[in-house]
Structure 1
Amino acid sequence: MSITPQHIIFDMDDTLIHCNKYFDLILGDFFEWMTDWFAPFGLTTEEVRSKQIEIDIAGTKQLGFASTNFPQSLIATYRHYGQIHGRATSPAEEEQLFALGMSVYDQEVEPYPGMVETLERLQGDGHRLYLYTGGEARIQQRKIEQMKLADYFEDRIYIRRHKNIEALEEIIRAGSFDRSHTWMIGNSLRTDVVPALTAGINSIYLKQQREWEYNLVELKEEPHNVLYTVSALTEVPEVINHHLM
């Protein structure tokens, strides 16, 4: 049976490669530093976590996926509790926090299980693959090169500071995609699924066990186009091919 080739757009971070777990490692160090520095005031990890998430999400909404947003959220959280408890802050400690936050981008890149098999299967089935990732070009390009993703996506790679409906629409229109044969695959309801459904293309939501709060939004209405939910990347080819039968 002949299968109509599809345009398949993949998110990268926490869809094809690990990302959030490295932020969690850095945050673990940050929480230890903060509860140590503010020990006389009884500051808890839960308090620090809550404020950092609040500041991080607000910064991301405003600035997009700027690399400095994460380290700046650590510093802003530190300043917040310094002001509340009357503890003097210091440039040296702020420099430590900035370096800690930026170190997340130096972590070794690790693919999700089945990344290569999934991309090779889809490519072998005749589908055309695209990569659409949020962040700064220098940082995202390093990951792309380390994972040799150009072997699958060639020049069909889009890096955007903001991942939203406007950015996705720009990509779809520039490529003259047939929306009924176009898919967005990603782990973020906010930046992958909702824009895809709004743009009238199909979507596969890769649901992670632990997700960054920024990515979690409510789907306000029943989608009129196709939406599947999977728990493993390797399920994607079967979902697409089964849908086409």
Structure 2
Amino acid sequence: MRRNGQVLVFDADDTLWENNILFERVIEDFLTWLDHPTLDRVQARAVLDRIQAANAVAHGYGSGMLLRSLADCVAELRGGPATAQQRAEIEAMASVLSHTRVELIAGVAETLDVLGRRHDLLLLTKGDPREQRRKVDASRLAHHFRAVDIVAEKDVETYHRLVETHALDPARSWMIGNSPKSDILPARQAGMNAVFVPNRHTWVLEHTELDPQDDRVIQLRSFSELLEHF
């Protein structure tokens, strides 16, 4: 049975368009370039993941945080700060992240077009404001949403503020995204419903377990399946 007249709040990166796959390509190129003499790729990646987790807390998300983390990883694994030449090479590897085009996930544009005639749509994305705004503009999807909110973090307080700012009824509001850590669990803790749309390229630091017994979380296989529920 389809739900009528709901508020649907959408995540952006890796829900509406591909994002982390670009970061993963940069990281794979970096690990090849690093070519550590004693650590294999898995071990070196574990070090980088740890550094990224700390930098995300201190410096937020996005390409700037990744560049900082890659340089920090060089410093830790090579025993000294990255040189100017090394930083230039890392920046060249990561230049793809500044491209102005985005790749929409299959079915997104068509699905939003239909959902926008049935429901009230909002967009909630985290990261560097200029970087996220660039991607929103490049996607040409902004007209589907009553409001676009760009935040530094998606935690329980963020969702409480979202509910208050937009005068939402949590029982009729749904957070839709690919990240259990940022989209599903904190939204549920704030009293909202949630829809999990998995993406096999979701950043490893966004993974966590969902409660299979939570009947206020819908788990889908694809974005287009939203039309079967809303």
TM-score over 0.5 (shorter chain): yes
- The 5-angstrom pairing of residues 1-245 of structure 1 reads 4-35=4-35, 38=36, 41-65=37-61, 67-83=63-79, 89-101=82-94, 103-106=96-99, 108-124=101-117, 126-154=118-146, 156-219=147-210, 222-223=213-214, 226-240=216-230
Give the whole-Å Cα distance in 2 for the aligned partners of 1:128 and 1:180: 14
Is the contact between residue 10 and residue 177 of structure 2 (CA under 8 Å) also seen in structure 1? yes
Cα deviations across residues 156-210 of structure 1 (Å, max 9, x unaligned)?
1000111211112111111111111100000001110011110111100011223
1:236 to partner: Cα distance: 1.1
Give the whole-Å Cα distance in 2 for the aligned partners of 1:77 and 1:171: 36
Cα deviations across residues 117-150 of structure 1 (Å, max 9, x unaligned)?
11011112x2010000011221111111111112
Q: Secondary structure at the match of 2:154?
A: coil
Is the contact between residue 102 and residue 135 of structure 2 (CA under 8 Å) also seen in structure 1? yes
1:91 to partner: Cα distance: 2.5
The structure whose RCO (Cα within 8 Å, separation 6+) is larger is 2
AA aligned to 1:183 is W
1:58 to partner: Cα distance: 1.9
Closer, same or farther: CA 7–29 of 1 in aligned 2, 3 Å: same
1:13 to partner: Cα distance: 0.3
Give the whole-Å Cα distance in 2 for the aligned partners of 1:55 and 1:151: 37
Closer, same or farther: CA 110–89 of 1 in aligned 2, 3 Å: closer
Give the whole-Å Cα distance in 1 for the aligned partners of 2:208 and 2:89: 33
- Which has the greater radius of gyration? 1
1:55 to partner: Cα distance: 0.9
1:222 to partner: Cα distance: 4.8
Q: How many residues align?
A: 230
Closer, same or farther: CA 147–66 of 1 in aligned 2, 3 Å: closer
1:97 to partner: Cα distance: 1.8
1:67 to partner: Cα distance: 4.0
Return the TM-score normalized by structure 2.
Answer: 0.91
Return the TM-score normalized by structure 1.
Answer: 0.86
Structure 1 unaligned residues grouped into runs of 5+: 241-245
Q: Secondary structure at the match of 1:68?
A: helix
Structure 2 unaligned residues grouped into runs of 5+: none
- Taking only aligned residues, the RMSD between alpha carbons, in angstroms, comes to 2.3
